[in-house]
């Protein structure tokens, strides 16, 4: 379990790094440090790849790993682990909304200008905030509790 927790923590760091790298051009446009491109295909590709190949498989791995710890009573440990699944569902929903937003950006040139201007409210940034809050919860509450429940002598 200890190795697994280290793997998950490292994976969170790598995923956060690749997400921020994918979002860097969006952030520059958002603060007007860069012009919005006339076509957005290149710009959105790393973010779409992150959603599909980074986020979604990670959620499945964690769901499988933590499901044995979740229970029906929504109190104590059950509440901690059940909250993970609720947050995973929320991340999937935001990922879906972010993909729809990106598709609109790619397909509807008429809304493109307005879309760039309202990025503060978009699902893309909501997903970034939810991701940060979720991995913080996992590091503070979920992973230590899962480790303690395994009762291994060398657990930290």
Please report, for residues 7, 8, 46, 61, 71, the alpha-carbon distance to residue 79 in angstroms, rounded to integers and kept in the order given. Answer: 24, 21, 34, 20, 8
54 binds Fe ion (CB under 5 A): no
Among the listed ranges 49-57, 103-111, 115-123, 132-140, the one in contact with Fe ion (CB under 5 A) is 132-140
131 binds Fe ion (CB under 5 A): no
50 binds Fe ion (CB under 5 A): no
Sign of the alpha-carbon dihedral angle for 120, 121, 126, 127:
negative
Neighbours of 36 (CB within 10 A): 19
Among the listed ranges 19-27, 59-67, 71-79, 98-106, the one in contact with Fe ion (CB under 5 A) is 59-67
Q: Cβ 43 to Fe ion, closest distance in Å? A: 26
22 binds Fe ion (CB under 5 A): no
Counted residue by residue, the chain has a size of: 156
| Angle at 33 (CA atoms; ends 29, 35), nearest 5 degrees | 55
Task: Give me 113's structure tokens.
Answer: 């200008």
Q: How many residues bind Fe ion (CB under 5 A)?
A: 2
State the Cα–Cα distance between residues 144 and 146, nearest whole angstrom: 6
Q: Which of 62, 102, 123, 146 binds Fe ion (CB under 5 A)?
A: 62
Among the listed ranges 38-46, 66-74, 112-120, 138-146, the one in contact with Fe ion (CB under 5 A) is 138-146
Binding footprint of Fe ion on the chain (CB under 5 A): 62, 138
């Amino acid at each position: 379990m200890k190795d697994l927790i280290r793997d998950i923590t490292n994976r969170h760091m790598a995923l956060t790094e690749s997400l921020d790298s994918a979002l860097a051009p969006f952030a520059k446009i958002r603060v007007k440090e860069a012009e919005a491109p006339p076509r957005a295909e290149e710009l959105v590709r790393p973010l779409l790849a992150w959603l599909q190949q980074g986020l979604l498989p990670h959620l499945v791995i964690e769901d499988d790993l933590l499901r044995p710890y979740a229970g029906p009573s929504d109190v104590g440990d059950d509440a901690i682990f059940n909250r993970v699944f609720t947050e995973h569902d929320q991340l999937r929903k935001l990922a879906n909304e972010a993909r729809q937003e990106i598709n609109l950006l790619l397909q509807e040139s008429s809304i493109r200008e307005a879309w760039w201007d309202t990025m503060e409210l978009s699902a893309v940034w909501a997903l970034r905030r939810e991701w940060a809050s979720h991995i913080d919860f996992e590091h503070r509450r979920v992973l230590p509790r899962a480790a303690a429940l395994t009762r291994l002598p060398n657990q930290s």
